[in-house]
Each structure stands twice: as structure tokens, then as C-alpha cells.
Amino acid sequence: MTELEQHALNIRKNILTMVYTAQSGHPGGSLSAADILTSLYFEEMDINKDNVASQDRDRFVLSKGHITPGYYATLCEKGFIPKEELKTFRQLHSPLQGHPNMNYIEAVDMSTGSLGQGISAAVGMALANRLDKNDHRIYFLLGDGESEEGEVWEACMAAGHYKLDNLCGILDYNHLQIDGNIADVVGPEPFPEKFEAFGWHVVEVDGHDFESLAKGFEEARNTKGQPTMIIAHTIKGKGVSFMENNYKWHGSAPNQEQYEAAMKELGGE
């Protein structure tokens, strides 16, 4: 097992533990994004405990702000959150609430939750970096169901207009949202043609393959004169067989039997 694979496995175990302990949260999308977040935080972005308070580092916005189990588990794996604190997820007075709050956790770069607003904030950050002559990059994670929000496309239009080549989005393309398949709910596809029409460079990758993700991020860095959207093909609930491709696990917590079965699949206790 590679180092990245081990990080992703630890993140998946902690996702399940957090949601099970709280009996609340969003495991499906957290599991689908686990490898993307691992690639970002352990290979792509220059963020660590030493520079977290500095302006001179890359920044990340979780636009699909409900997948905090995946986000917090990643920040824990990176050393920003003590592991014992994960079991306070969604509890009263815990800094680990259902949506990320930048006032509670230093490593969280933007408070998010209202779908569509995260990408808008990321566009603003990228534009601010350009005005400040700061060459660090801005990354954001977008949900495919979230892309049904009109604000997403307003932000895309602005980013394309300003040719923000310091901005890189990742679309967690798992095809499912809370009510079922995205094609049956509103149908925001086709994604590549739409992002290209708004002036974005588009890269398609396997969102569960670290080599594919790394190549996508490299292409994004080398693209000049336009923002890049990495369309990451993923599986909702990835890693737990009975959660995979099942929209009912979008926002449901496992019972004890399901939790134990899921942890056994992942090789955990």
C-alpha cells in the first residue's frame, strides 16, 4: 500500500467513525471525495502546520460544504485536528459542526454550506491573489448535484471572463444527490461542454486513481489564460460495498451492525 493509499484509508475509517458516533452526517459524498482530498492535501497543495496562518500558501474551499466528515478526517490526517476531537462531530459547542466554519478551525479557509457559494468565494480568492501579485493557487471541490445551482454558473462566467488561471476546481462527479441520480432530479449534464462554454479548460480524471489525479493537477498548473475544471469520475460511498452507488447513503448514518461491517471491509476495528 502506498503512502497516499494509507492516508485515504485512514480518512475513510474516520469518516465512518464520525458519522456513526454522531448518528448524523453525509458519508456517501465524503467517501467519494476521499481520494481527491488526499491528493490535494498530501501531494498537490503547499499547506502545512507551519504555514497555515500565512497568506503565502495555496487555499482550498469545500464548496459542497456538507461533506465535512471527509474534510475533517483529511485535516486530522494532515495534523490540523486532534484525532480524539473527531468524536465530537456535530455535538454542541464542538468546532466540528455539520458545515465548516473558518472561525473554529484555522485550516478551514472558507465557511461553506449553502450550495453554490463556495465556488463564488474561490473565484473571489483567485481574483484577490492576482491583484495582490500572490502566485499561490486556489482550489475548490464542487458537487455534481450542487451544479444545479445558478450561482455556480455565474461564478464560472466570472472566472472565465477574468481568465483566472490560478483557479482550479474539482467536480466530484458521482452522479448521485440526496434525491437520486442527478439526471433524474434536474439534469445538469453535459459537464465538459458547459464548463468549456464558460471559458474553462476541462480535464477528466479517475477520481479514485492518484496517478490520474496528479496528472490532472499538473495539467491545471500548466494551463495559462483560463481556469481549469477537473472532472473527477467517482463512486458515491467508495470503499464500502453496500454504500457504493446508493443515494440513500447521501446523508444517512450507519447503525452499529452496518458500521462494524463497513469498518471490517476497510480493515478497521
Contact by Cβ (8 Å): 48, 251: no
CA 265 to chain CA centroid, Å, is 23
Cell triple for 1: 500500500
**Burial class of residue 239 in the structure, from the number of CB atoms within 10 Å of its CB (0-12 exposed, 13-18 middle, 19+ buried):** buried
Strands lying side by side in the sheet with 228-233: 59-62, 138-143, 167-173, 228-233, 201-206
- According to the model, what pLDDT value does residue 269 have? 62
Vertex 210 angle, CA 208 and 211, to 5°: 125
- Report whether 58 contacts 139 (CB < 8 A): yes
Q: Does the pTM of the predicted model rise above 0.95?
A: yes
Distances (CA, A) of 75 to 7, 42, 83, 112: 11, 10, 10, 16
Domain range list for the chain = 3-265
Peptide bond before 190: cis, by omega within 30 degrees of 0? yes
Place of cell 485535516: 75
Half-sphere exposure of 17 (CA within 13 A, CB side): 20
What would the grid cell of residue 10 be?
485512514
Distance in angstroms (rounded) separating the CA atoms of residues 35 and 44: 12
CATH T-level assignment (fold) for domain 3-265: Rossmann fold (3.40.50)
CB-hemisphere CA count at 13 Å for 194? 16
Which amino acid, residue 34? Answer: A
- How far is residue 187's CA from residue 61's CA, in Å, rounded to a whole number? 24
178: phi > 0 → left, psi -120 to 50 → alpha, else beta; which? alpha
- For the chain, count helices (H), then strands (E): 9, 7
Q: What is the pLDDT along the chain (269 residues), one digit of tens a residue?
A: 899 999 999 999 999 999 999 999 999 999 999 999 999 999 999 999 999 999 999 999 999 999 999 999 999 999 999 999 999 999 999 999 999 999 999 999 999 999 999 999 999 999 999 999 999 999 999 999 999 999 999 999 999 999 999 999 999 999 999 999 999 999 999 999 999 999 999 999 999 999 999 999 999 999 999 999 999 999 999 999 999 999 999 999 999 999 999 999 998 66
Which residue in 41, 43, 33 sits closest to 59, CA to CA?
A: 41
- The strand pair at 59-62 and 138-143 is best described as parallel
